[in-house]
Amino acid sequence: MDIHQLGVNFDERHDRLLLRVNTVDAQEVRLWLTRRISLRLMGPLQTAIARLESGQASVAVPDSHAKALLLELKHDDFLQKADLKTPYSSASKTLPLGAEPLVVTDITIHIQGNQGAQMVFQDAGSPETPARTCTLQMQPPLVHGMLHLLVNAMVAAQWQTPVDPPLGEALHAEDEETASQATKPSYRH
Q: pLDDT by residue (tens digit) across 84-94?
A: 777 777 776 79
DSSP string, 74-132: HHHHHHHHS--SSPPP----B-TT-SSPEE--EEEEEE-GGG-EEEEEEE---SSS--E
Q: Is residue 122 part of a domain?
A: no
Cα 15 to the chain's mean position, in Å? 19
Higher local confidence (pLDDT), 15 or 60: 15
The packing angle between helices 35-54 and 167-179, to 10°, is: 80
Q: Is residue 163 part of a domain?
A: yes
Could you tell me the end-to-end alpha-carbon distance of the chain, in angstroms, rounded to an integer? 43
Measured distance CA(16)–CA(98) in Å, rounded: 18
pLDDT number for residue 50: 83
* pTM (2 d.p.): 0.76
Contact 44, 27 (CB under 8 A): no
Q: Is residue 88 part of a domain?
A: no
Measured distance CA(110)–CA(44) in Å, rounded: 10
Give how many domains the chain has, as a whole number: 1
Least confident piece of the model among 93-97, 145-149, 173-177, 183-187: 183-187
Domain that includes residue 27, residue range: 3-83+94-103+141-172
Using pLDDT thresholds of 50, 70 and 90, give the confidence band for residue 153: very high
Contact 168, 71 (CB under 8 A): yes
3-state SS class at 189? coil
The string of pLDDT tens digits covering residues 34-85 is: 999 999 999 899 888 888 887 665 545 566 676 677 677 777 777 777 777 7
Q: Is residue 121 part of a domain?
A: no
